[in-house]
Amino acid sequence: MNENVFARLGMQEVHSTTLEEQLAQAGERLVCIFCWGVDCFNCEVAKKAMLAKPEAVEKLDLAWMHGNVYADRDLAMKFGLHGIPVFVFYHRGRKLGVATGWHGYAQFEAAVANARRKIAA
């Protein structure tokens, strides 16, 4: 599969040093930060699954960011990660929750819906 999930979904690369600024730039949008690592098998599974249903993922209307937490250990520490992939949700700079692992599109969609409920509350 030659297509890159980061490009397909318009994911901005994020680093521990730019996180706060990039979250502020997202405004009112729900942000999803995809924490991944090079040569991470489960991260590749998640990427391929998202590329298999890009229209469904795009319908979730997320401001996507991604961070290679193997290369940026400070980012991994900020989120207290013990494994990847992890999807971290933010709105207006406030952390709303975390989805650990890729357990299929339906479960990811439910995590997004849960984050949106927290915004509405």
Per-residue pLDDT of the chain (121 residues; tens, 9 = 90+): 446 999 999 999 999 999 999 999 999 999 999 999 999 999 999 999 999 999 999 999 999 999 999 999 999 999 999 999 999 999 999 999 999 999 999 999 999 999 999 999 8
What residue segments make up the domains of the chain, in order of their start?
10-120
What is the 3 state secondary structure string of 84-117? CCEEEEEECCEEEEEEECCCCHHHHHHHHHHHHH
Q: Which CATH superfamily is domain 10-120 in?
A: Glutaredoxin (3.40.30.10)
- Rounded CA separation 109/25 (Å): 24
Q: What is the pTM of this model?
A: 0.95
